[in-house]
Amino acid sequence: MLYEPRPELTETKPVPGFAQRVFSGIQPTGNLHLGNYLGAIVKFVQLQQSFPCIYCVVDLHAITMPQEPAELQQSIREVTAAFLAAGIDPVKHIVFNQSRVHEHAELAWVFNCIARLGWLNRMTQFKDKAGKDRENASLGLYAYPSLMAADILVYRATHVPVGEDQKQHLELTRDVAQKFNNDYSGRIADLGFGAGYFPLPEPVIQGPATRVMSLRDGSKKMSKSDPSDYSRINLSDDSDTIAQKFRKAKTDPEPLPSEEKGLESRPEAENLVGIYAALSGRSRAELLAEFGGGQFSAFKQALTDLAVDKLGPVGKRMKQLTADPGYIDQVLRDGAERASAIAAPIMNDVKDIVGFLR
Ligand code: TYM
């Protein structure tokens, strides 16, 4: 166990009236980085102690942007390896790739008919990813949040651990669940499902690193798509690369402050202190009491040692696991079978509610 459970995650608010269940997903689109790890994967690992969890490699989402097929297959295995290397238990919980469970795409279609164009027009991730050439973006990229709502609700999941950047998509998921429950309220009651068929899932965004920023620019989030590899620490980076990236990380000329207030308007310093806090489990205040007044070079060295210590074993285990694709594929197949067993009856209920014959 790399991390002890933290109270803010184990004391997650229950969603009344539903079996409590965690769902989350990661796209297999290139290198996983420290933001994915601290913002999502560490929380996935911790939540296993309190909930049944379903963790999904969302390959249907990946193809909303062009992907090279052989690289996509490799990335699916790599994300799975990262899950397992970080400590996700694929026997007690469920790990699978999305395209194997057809109910995700099926429910997404129903949700395409529930979600309103106005809701999707507000999604900032679509605006960012589509860029200036919106006319040329895929319809899939536009409908992405509706598929994400289906991912969560096809298991009637109640809790969704994610980084800050996914908050808007989770709000849309709640809107979709609410509108479905309202639009079909009579039918849901007639079929004996009570007040609402879908839960309104709770985002789990707490924790010290909900938004890890680029090492080159403290105003941009750390991202797979940043052209500079120096902007991020990849889970696959070796210790020399981690050291070099932290050494080159942008800072400002001032020494570190001794109190948290001193981090205001110093995004790069704030980011590095936040990363240290998340990796060590110590508070920012405690860290600044120790490192405040000192130069960045000493802090960066301590941060490098800590990061190598925490991430090194994960990277090493990931390499061992990706060397055995047969094992990874077996985990994904088995996980998909168990995920389907949960999703299929829920999809059947949805068909009955909507009025399809089956
Ligand atoms: P994705 O693949 O972009 O990112 C995976 C997870 O990593 C988090 N994350 C970060 N957290 C902190 N700091 C960062 N710099 C950072 N960058 C990424 C993301 O918030 C996410 O939790 N749409 C989702 C995938 C998805 C999903 C779902 C998630 C599809 N269906 C259903 C939850 C439930 C995405 O693109 O994540």
Q: What is the DSSP letter of 161?
A: E
- In angstroms, the Cα distances linking 284 to 69, 218, 236, 262, 278 are 43, 17, 27, 11, 9
User: Do 150 and 275 belong together in one domain?
Assistant: no
Q: Which two tokens stand for residue 214?
A: 């680029």
pLDDT score at 1: 41
In this prediction, residue 8 has a pLDDT band, given cuts at 50, 70 and 90, of: low
Could you tell me the pTM of the whole model? Answer: 0.96
How high does pLDDT run on average in the chain?
95
Beta-bridged to residue 56, according to DSSP, are 25, 96
Residue pair 281/3 in contact by the 8 Å Cβ criterion: yes
Query: pLDDT tens digit string along 242-289?
Result: 999 999 999 999 999 999 999 999 999 999 999 999 999 999 999 999
Residue pair 285/318 in contact by the 8 Å Cβ criterion: no
For 301-306, what is the mean pLDDT? 97
Residue pair 322/81 in contact by the 8 Å Cβ criterion: yes
| CA 357 to ligand 1 centroid distance, Å | 36
User: Do 315 and 343 belong together in one domain?
Assistant: no
Check whether 335 has a pLDDT greater than 60. Answer: yes
In this prediction, residue 194 has a pLDDT band, given cuts at 50, 70 and 90, of: confident
Q: Nearest Cα to 94, choosing from 144, 151, 148?
A: 151
In this prediction, residue 7 has a pLDDT band, given cuts at 50, 70 and 90, of: low
The verdict on residue 166 lying in a domain is: yes
Q: Which atom of ligand 1 is nearest to the CA of 166?
A: 20
User: Do 266 and 305 belong together in one domain?
Assistant: yes
User: Do 113 and 237 belong together in one domain?
Assistant: no
Residue 250, domain extent: 229-321
The verdict on residue 219 lying in a domain is: no
User: Do 46 and 169 belong together in one domain?
Assistant: yes
| CA 173 to ligand 1 centroid distance, Å | 14
Q: Is 42 in the pocket of ligand 1 (CB under 6 A)?
A: no
Out of 166, 169, 224, 232, mutate this one to test ligand 1's pocket (max ligand atoms within 8 Å of CB): namely: 166
Q: Count of domains in the chain?
A: 2
Counting residues of the chain whose pLDDT is more than 90, the rounded percentage is 92
User: Do 147 and 237 belong together in one domain?
Assistant: no
Q: CA triplet 323, 328, 333: central angle to 5 degrees?
A: 155
The verdict on residue 221 lying in a domain is: no
Nearest residue CA, atom 27 of ligand 1?
25
The verdict on residue 215 lying in a domain is: no
CATH number at residue 307: 1.10.240.10
pLDDT score at 9: 59
| CA 82 to ligand 1 centroid distance, Å | 14
Query: pLDDT tens digit string along 99-158?
Result: 999 999 999 999 999 999 999 999 999 999 999 989 999 999 999 999 999 999 999 999
User: Do 206 and 271 belong together in one domain?
Assistant: no
Check whether 184 has a pLDDT greater than 50. Answer: yes
pLDDT score at 12: 82
Nearest residue CA, atom 33 of ligand 1?
24
Check whether 68 has a pLDDT greater than 50. Answer: yes
Q: Which atom of ligand 1 is nearest to the CA of 152?
A: 32
| CA 184 to ligand 1 centroid distance, Å | 31
User: What is the C-alpha separation between 48 and 34, in angstroms, rounded?
Assistant: 20
User: Do 250 and 126 belong together in one domain?
Assistant: no
- State yes or no: is 300 an active-site residue: no
Question: Higher confidence at residue 210 or residue 2?
Answer: 210
- Kindly tell me the burial class for residue 25, based on how many C-beta atoms sit within 10 Å of its own C-beta (0-12, 13-18, 19 or more): buried
Q: 73: which residues sit within 8 A by CB, 6+ positions away?
A: none
Q: Is 59 in the pocket of ligand 1 (CB under 6 A)?
A: no
